[in-house]
Structure 1
Amino acid sequence: MASGLPHLIERTTAQFEKNFGCTPTLLAAAPGRVNLIGEHIDYCDGFVLPCALPLYTLIAAAPAAEDHLITLDAGKKFPRTTIDLREPVNPGEPFWANYLKGVLASFLEFDSPRPLGFNAQISTNIPLGAGLSSSAALEVAFATLLEQITGHILTKKEKALLAQKAEHDFAGMPCGIMDQFASAYGEEGHLVLIDCKAEEASLISFERNDLDLVICNSMVSHSLADGEYAKRRADAEEALRRSGQTSWRDLSLADLPKLEKACPERIYHRARHIITESKRVIDATKALKDDDFLAFGQFMYRSHSSLRDDYEVSCPELDLLVDLAKEAGPAGGVLGSRMTGGGFGGSTITLCHSSHTRQFIAHLSSRYMEETGHKPDIIVAKPARGAHLV
C-alpha cells in the first residue's frame, strides 16, 4: 500500500489555512501500528513484534495571536478545544483532547522553555476503533510537535514512555508500552521487537517484496476504556501474585501445572496465554530470521486461538476472519492470520504472498459480507516510518 501521507499533508494544511487564516509552520506525523504477534503481554514483561503502518496522524501548527492559548481542532466530529497555559492542565471534556493534555502536562514539567500559544489542526487516516493504535499515534505526534516548539528533544524511548503516561493518567487507559514504542521506533522495511521488561526496542528486517501484511477491519468498534481491558490486566496481576513471582519473565511452560493448582480456572487461563504467547513471540521471531514464513504463520494461528480461548478477547467477527484466512490457506497464498490489538472487535492481520493478495482480499470480502452483512475495510501494508517532522 502506498503511503497516504502526502494526501493527508495536503488535506490538513488546507484545513488549517481555512480554520486559522495562515499557513502552518510545523507539521508532525506519527503512525498507527499493527502487531504481528505478542498480544496482551506488553504489560506482562513480554516480548511483542509490531510494526509502524503507513497510516498517520498529522498535526499542523503555527503560533497563535495570544501566547497563553493552545487551540486544538480535529474536524467536525470532535469538539474544538482551547487550553489556557495560565491554568493547570487537567483531564476533562472533550475526552479526545485528554490524550494531548497528558502529553502537554509532561512537557510543562521539564526544565526547558514553556510552550507559547499555538493553533493546531489534527487529521488522521488511521481507522478509529480498528485496533491500530490511533490514540498512540495522536500522543506521539503531539510529543513530536512539542519537541520542536519547546526545544526539549526526547529520545525515542522517552517519547514513547511519556505518551504512555499520558494515556494512563489523562485517558484512564492502563495500556502497555507497545503502541507508543511502535509509533516512535518504526522504520520502513522493519518490524520492531520490543522487550517490555527492559523497555528496549530492536529492529527486525522485513524487506520483503513478496509478502504483504493484510489488515482487515471487522467493522466492529470497541472502546477498551469501558472496562474489559482493565479486567484482563487485573486478571494478569492476580495470576502473577498467585505464582509467587514478581515478574512474568521468571515463569515458563514448566510452571503451568503449579499455576493450574494455585489459580481459579479463569485466572489460570489468563496465565497460560501470557506464558505461551511470550514463548511464541521468541519462536516466531526466530522463524522470521530463518525466512521460515510458513512456521511464522502457524505461530500467528496459535496466538489467535490463545487469545480467543484463554484470554477471551476475540469476538465472532474476528474468529470468522481468521477462519476465512485458514480456508484460503497456503494454496491461496495465506501463511497465517490472527486478531491484532486489544480485541473485542477491531482487526485481523494476515501474512499473505503478494502474488495472491488481490485474490485473497476478494475471497475475504465476499465471504465476510455473506456471513455478517458488513463490508470489511481492508488495508494492504508494508512496515513504515515512525514519528517524524514533515
Structure 2
Amino acid sequence: MTPTPASDTAGQARGLFRELTGAGPAGTWSAPGRVNLIGEHTDYNDGFVLPFAIPFRTHVALAPRTDGILRVVSTFDPVPVEVHLTDLDALFPARRDEVPEWARYPLGIAWALLHASGTAAGDVGGADLAFASDVPVGAGLSSSAAIEGATATALADTWGLDLDRVALARAGRTAENEAVGAPTGIMDQMASMLGEADAAIFLDCRTLAAEVVTLGFDAAGLELIVIDTGVKHSHATGGYGERRAACERGAAALDVAALRDVTVADLPRLSERVDDVTFRRVRHVVTENRRVLDTVEVLRDSGPTVIGDLLVASHASMRDDFEISVPELDTAVEAALTAGALGARMTGGGFGGAAIALVSRDGADAVAEAVRTAFDEHGFAAPHIFPVTAGPGAGRDD
C-alpha cells in the first residue's frame, strides 16, 4: 500500500535551503499531519475530538537573518516569498490575498507568534525558511497544521519565545483563521503539537485540556488504513464556512455559547426553533460529541476491537446530517466494511479527502483490494491506500 513517508524529506528541505541561500541551515524542525479517529466538526463548536499524529511530516530548514526579512520557499512552489516583519500587521488579515496561499501559513505563523508573545517585530531578526513535506495535500490529513507546527516550533526556538505547545497550537489556529482565511478549529494544531507514539489525543476544545489515550492497535493485531480518494478540498472555500454558520445559528437558537452546551435531550426543543437543515447540522455535532466520549471510554475499558460501530455511526452522521461526504468517500467506507473492516468513516473536513478503516492486520490487503475494485467499478480514479501509526508531535530534528 502506498504512499509511505519519504525517507529524506528533511534532506530535501536542507537542499532547497542551500539553493536559496548558498549555505546550510542552522537547523531543521518538523511537525506531523494527523488523522482524526473520531470527532468531526466538533472542534470549532467547543466540543471533543480524538486525533493522532501520523508519520507523514513537514520539515523546515531555517537560518536566522539580521535584516528583519522573512523569506520562505517550498518544494511545491520554488518561487521565494519575501516579507519584512514590520509589514506583517499590514498584510494580515486585511491584505492576505496579496500573499500566495501556501506562504500565508508560515508568514501567518510568524505574525501570530509575535502577537501571542507580545514581541515587537523590531526585536527579532528575520529568517530564511525552506519547506519540504510528505504529508499528502488535500487528503484530510492536515498538511496545513504540519506546516504551521513546523514553522511555529522553528521560529519559537530561533527567536527564544516563551510559548508552550498549547500556545504554539493557538498561534497555528490564529494563522489559519485570519492569515489564511480558513474558519477551522484547533484540533489539527493540537494533534500536530502534542502527538505521542501509539496514542491519540483526547482534546477538550473549550478548555484545551488534553489527555493521552492509548490506542493499542498493534497489540490487538489491528491496523488503521487511510483511503485517500484523490478528491481535493479546500477549507478556505464555501461548504466548510456554511456548516460553521449553521452551527452558530443552532447555538443562538438555544441561547448557548456553543454546541458543546447542547445535549441529545435538547434536540426536540431545537427542532421547533430552526429549519431542517440547521437542525440536522446541529444533530451531527451533538451526537458526534457523544461518540467521542464513548470511544474514549471503550478504548480505556475494552480496547480498540470494539470501537467499529462508533466509527460507522460517525460516517453516517456526516453523510446524512452534516452532508459533507462525497460518493468516493461513501464507496470507500461501504467497500471496506463489506470486506471485513471493523469500522470505517470519512475523516477530515469533508467534501473530498480521505476515509479511514480499522482492519485486522491479516485482512488489510484484502480490504484495500476491495476498495480499489469498488472504485474501478464506479469509474472513480484509483485511490491511494496506506497504513498509518500514531507518532510524535512537532520538534527540532537537528
Q: TM-score, normalised by structure 1?
A: 0.94
> Contact (CA 8 Å) 2:104, 2:180: kept in 1 or not?
yes
Where does the alignment leave 5 or more consecutive residues of structure 1 unmatched? Answer: none
More divergent stretch after superposition (265-274 vs 15-24)? 15-24
Distance 1:223 1:245 in 2: 29
Shift of 1:193: 0.5
After superposition, give the CA deviation of every residue in 1:153-175 in whole Å (9 maximum; x if it has no partner): 42111111111011111111111
Provide, for residues 189-246 of structure 1, a one-character-per-residue CA deviation record: whole Å limited to 9, x for no partner. Answer: 1101011121111110124322211011111001121111110000000011112323
Give matches, 1:126-165, under 5 Å: 126-165=135-174
What corresponds to 1:85 in structure 2? 85
Deviation string 1:37-76 (CA, Å, 9 cap, x unpaired) is: 1101111121110000101011001234x62222111125
- 1:276-287 to 2 correspondences below 5 Å: 276-287=287-298
Contact kept? 1:337, 1:350, Cα under 8 Å: yes
Kindly indicate whether the alpha-carbon contact (under 8 Å) linking 2:16 and 2:130 is maintained by their aligned counterparts in 1: yes
In the alignment, which residue of structure 2 is the partner of 1:307? 318
Letter in 2 for 1:218: T
1:172-187 paired onto structure 2 within 5 Å: 172-187=181-196
Q: Distance in 2 between matches of 1:288 and 1:88?
A: 44
| Residue number in structure 2 paired with 1:98 | 104
State the alpha-carbon separation in 1 of the partners of residues 272 and 256 from structure 2: 15
Q: How does 1:3-152 map to 2 (within 5 A)?
A: 4=5, 6-64=7-65, 67-77=67-77, 79-89=79-89, 90=91, 91=96, 92-109=98-115, 110-112=117-119, 114-152=123-161
Distance 2:361 2:351 in 1: 29
8 Å CA contact 2:113, 2:168 repeated in 1 = no
How far apart in 2 are the matches of 1:107 and 1:249? 28
Counterpart Cα distance in 1 of 2:88 and 2:299: 48
Seen in structure 2, the aligned counterparts of structure 1 residues 385 and 249 have a Cα distance that, compared at 3 Å, is same
1:260-296 Cα deviation digits (max 9, x unpaired): 1111111110111111111111111111112343431
Give 1:328's match in structure 2, choosing from 339, 349, 370: 339
CA distance in 1, matches of 2:45, 2:118: 32
Distance 1:200 1:75 in 2: 35
Aligned-partner residue type, residue 95 of structure 1: E
Q: Which residue matches 1:365? A: 372
2:87 and 2:256 mapped to 1: Cα distance? 44
- Do 2:339 and 2:366's aligned partners in 1 also have CA atoms closer than 8 Å? no
**Counterpart-to-counterpart distance in 2, 1:240 and 1:297:** 30
What is the CA–CA distance in structure 2 between the aligned matches of 1:324 and 1:376, rounded to whole Å? 12
**Where in structure 2 are the equivalents of 1:263-282 lying within 5 Å?**
263-282=274-293
Q: Please give the alpha-carbon distance, in whole angstroms, between the structure 2 residues aligned to 1:285 and 1:86.
A: 45
Q: Cα deviations across residues 6-43 of structure 1 (Å, max 9, x unaligned)?
A: 51112222222233211111111010001011101111
- The size of the alignment, in residue pairs, is 385
Distance 1:108 1:191 in 2: 30
Following superposition, the deviation at residue 105 of structure 1 comes to 1.1
Distance in 2 (CA, whole Å) between partners of 1:57 and 1:300 is 28
Conservation of the 8 A alpha-carbon contact between 2:48 and 2:289: yes
For 2:111 and 2:367, locate their aligned partners in 1 and report how far apart those are by CA, in whole Å.
Answer: 46
Q: Give the Cα separation in 2 of the matches to 1:85 and 1:19.
A: 19
- Equivalent position amino acid for 2:372 in 1: S
The partner residue of 1:217 within 213, 223, 228 is: 228
CA gap of 1:85–1:224, structure 2 versus 1, over 3 A, is closer
Give structure 2 stretches of 5+ with no counterpart: none
Two-structure CA RMSD over aligned residues (Å): 1.8
Letter paired with 1:12: A
Please report how far the alpha carbon of residue 186 of structure 1 lies from its aligned counterpart in structure 2 after TM superposition.
Answer: 0.5
Q: Work out the percentage of aligned pairs sharing the same amino acid.
A: 35
Look up the equivalent residue of 2:64 and give its one-letter code.
P
Task: After superposing the two structures, state which structure 1 stretch, 195-204 or 67-76, moved more.
Answer: 67-76
Q: Is the 8 A contact 1:115 1:146 kept in 2?
A: no
Letter in 2 for 1:171: V
CA deviation after TM superposition for structure 1 residue 316, in Å? 0.7
